[in-house]
Structure 1
Amino acid sequence: MGKAYNLTRQADYWLGEFAVMASTCQVLLDDMNAAQADSLVALAYAEAKRIELKYSRFRDDNIIARLNHAKGRAVQLDDETVKLINLADLCFQLSDGLFDISSGVLGKLWHFKQQTQLPSDTDISTLLPHIGWQQALWQAPLLTLPTGMQIDLGGIGKEYAVDKVAQLLQNTMRLQHIDSAFLVNFGGDIYANKSRRKGDAWQVAIEDPKHLGESKLMVSLAQGGLASSGDSQRFIDVDGQRYSHILNPKTGYPIAGGPPQVTVYAQNCVQAGMLATIALLQGEFAEDFLKAQDCRYWL
């Protein structure tokens, strides 16, 4: 049985690649030998896979399944899950209820794959009473979801995995006395630890969603997180109107009027992703929100 990841030598760095969380995941490693690179990519894959198995809403044997089938009973959470729920709660507060981990049930109606007609108002109205994080009882480490409510950590899971993998790589490299630069990229959610050995920053391309495959903005990333959120890949056209996959949990319908894509730079990937997603949820007020956060961003 072969390895779950590939490792190849590029011009002047090692590239590890694997598929996790329905994304192409990459680890770029500067200035080290093949054995060191292979060992670090194996660690990165194992950690990303662990997080996927623990928090995927498509499994029936993890903590998310236990919560979603608890039928109103309190579930005690481990320390790692407590941190993630606290983060989700913070996103809910910062976004005035627009970033809501209980809104995943809308995916039953909006699946954005060859969808040719809109869900009915009646179907949406039936789901709305089961959405609203404010209805959950969160008294860490105990979480009680009302019967019928389900949560989905997909909105923060990939960014969290990027930061956890980066932390693991940094700790391992420190123990092995490897002082090298790396970049972790999980489907466009990115973290870099430092400039490369020649003092150069990593060059990250941001695609223009209106001209995919053509114009790209190049961003120099020496250290920190970069995350993009947008509807360039997931949307539907119905009767000549485009509907984004970014859904408003209060109405059950896609957010309208915002930019097609937001990219944010922050200290870590979780912070960047949180700001990018909350900005998109503001619709036409996306840039106003980002200006208020005093962060670097690209629309």
Structure 2
Amino acid sequence: MILFQVNRISTKNTSSIIFILLLWCISCSNQPSQIELSGFTMGTTYNIKIIPEKDSILSTKLIKQNIDSVLISVNYQMSTYLFDSEITQFNNHESTTSFTVSNDFSLVVERALHWSKLTDGAFDITIVPLLYLWGFGPGQASELGDIFPEEHAVQKRRTHVGYEKLTTNKYYLQKKDPFIKIDLNAIAKGFGVDAVYSFLESIGMNNIMVEIGGEVRTKGENRKNEPWMIAVETPDLESAGSKTISWALPLESKAMATSGDYRNYYEIDGIRYSHEIDPRTGYPAQTGVASATVVATNCMDADALATALIIMGPESGLQFIEKLDGVEAFLILREGNDNYRTIKSSGMKISAL
């Protein structure tokens, strides 16, 4: 044990110590600080980096409490894993009468229907019956064993799939088919990123990076006064529990989302079937797109479009992206089990590491 002797300190010495401490604090303040927050939400993790303003007096603890509150709200609106969530209640509402919903829920569904129309149904939140048929529904183990769904079963499920069977306005949703059910997993995470981003903006944060389960949105610069650099992983089937980073891009006040066929899949007779199901055929997509990364103005749109590109395939997918303002894409195409090639839209800024 080390004992410290306490001596009386003169007023003169005290002043000297205070002056030295003040100089030390001033020198430290010249280095930009960074707040890092993390947690769990929507069945995954979130990571947030904030470069606070010099005059900011906000409590880090209070900021995190508010972020968690925002994400809890989104989860209770859009999680199919919660028995009392807003989406679960809507799915259990087997009626063509209108169903009152929150503004945020209506906003996300309306945006999903927007992309459904523009992609000719490649993106479709009413895909739930097919997800269950193929073993990818909430709570299922993503495995069919040796049982391959028969054609008549696929087509029967498709009778209750179709974005055009759902209408919405600010206050309610309405089913044209009482057995329509929706899944927002391909867009809700992006909305969650946007919701946290909006909160941080509202309290005056101008340099931020928000990431939830790989979906990202940034504003301003990092602590080096440079654009936020965001990584894109290799779609490696053999390393499902880890990530190999092969590309990176500067994300300057934009959002980015990635979708792929390599995290949730199974094989039957040597053929891989992923959770990315084409609503137009009823079968898992076989377009050769292993991974689709989209950069857009907001993360909700990037999230939906990344899923759509897996379904649409490389040629029609990139042609579609080129027609959209402020949207870019990077596709990793599978060529055999271990080989890949990449293609990107004309304005996509991404580099191999």
Fold equivalence (TM over 0.5): yes
Residue type at the aligned position of 1:54? Q
SS in 2 for 1:287: helix
Deviations 1:99-131 (A, max 9, x none): 111112222122353443322323323311111
Residue matched to 2:77: 54
Equivalent of residue 214 in structure 2, options 175, 185, 188:
188
Equivalences for residues 266-281 of structure 1 within 5 A: 266-281=296-311
Structure 1 residue 187: deviation in Å?
Answer: 0.5
RMSD: 2.4
Equivalences for residues 227-246 of structure 1 within 5 A: 227-246=257-276
SS in 1 for 2:308: helix
Does the 8 Å CA contact 1:200/1:222 hold for their aligned counterparts? Answer: no
Residue matched to 1:288: 319
Residue type at the aligned position of 2:196? V
Residue matched to 1:201: 227
- The CA distance in 1 between the partners of 2:51 and 2:168, in whole Å, is 43
Aligned length: 284
- The CA distance in 2 between the partners of 1:167 and 1:45, in whole Å, is 14
Judged with a 3 Å threshold, the aligned counterparts in structure 2 of structure 1 residues 214 and 76 are, in CA distance, closer, same or farther, namely closer
TM-score, structure 1 length as denominator? 0.86
Judged with a 3 Å threshold, the aligned counterparts in structure 2 of structure 1 residues 296 and 98 are, in CA distance, closer, same or farther, namely closer
**1:38 partnered with 2:61:** yes
Deviations 1:18-68 (A, max 9, x none): 111111111112247897333222211211111101221223323223322
**1:64 partnered with 2:78:** no
Structure 1 residue 139: deviation in Å?
Answer: 5.4
Equivalences for residues 1-299 of structure 1 within 5 A: 13-31=34-52, 36-72=59-95, 73-111=97-135, 113-117=142-146, 118-138=148-168, 141-145=171-175, 146-172=177-203, 174=204, 179-210=205-236, 213-285=243-315, 286-293=317-324, 295-299=327-331
- The CA distance in 1 between the partners of 2:167 and 2:191, in whole Å, is 23
Residue type at the aligned position of 1:51? V
Residue type at the aligned position of 1:123? A
- The CA distance in 2 between the partners of 1:152 and 1:227, in whole Å, is 18
SS in 2 for 1:17: strand
Judged with a 3 Å threshold, the aligned counterparts in structure 2 of structure 1 residues 61 and 251 are, in CA distance, closer, same or farther, namely same
- The CA distance in 2 between the partners of 1:123 and 1:111, in whole Å, is 13
- The CA distance in 1 between the partners of 2:328 and 2:152, in whole Å, is 41
- The CA distance in 2 between the partners of 1:247 and 1:153, in whole Å, is 14
CA radius of gyration, larger in = 2
Does the 8 Å CA contact 2:107/2:170 hold for their aligned counterparts? Answer: no
Deviations 1:203-242 (A, max 9, x none): 2111011475444212122311011111121122211111
SS in 2 for 1:226: strand
Identify the range of structure 1 (225-234 vs 23-32) with the bigger mean alpha-carbon deviation.
23-32
Judged with a 3 Å threshold, the aligned counterparts in structure 2 of structure 1 residues 284 and 244 are, in CA distance, closer, same or farther, namely farther
Residue type at the aligned position of 1:125? Q
Does the 8 Å CA contact 2:207/2:218 hold for their aligned counterparts? Answer: yes
- The CA distance in 1 between the partners of 2:37 and 2:167, in whole Å, is 41
TM-score, structure 2 length as denominator? 0.74
Does the 8 Å CA contact 1:262/1:280 hold for their aligned counterparts? Answer: yes
Does the 8 Å CA contact 2:112/2:304 hold for their aligned counterparts? Answer: no
Aligned-residue identity in percent: 24
Judged with a 3 Å threshold, the aligned counterparts in structure 2 of structure 1 residues 78 and 109 are, in CA distance, closer, same or farther, namely same
* Structure 2 residue runs without a partner (length 5+): 1-31, 137-141, 332-353
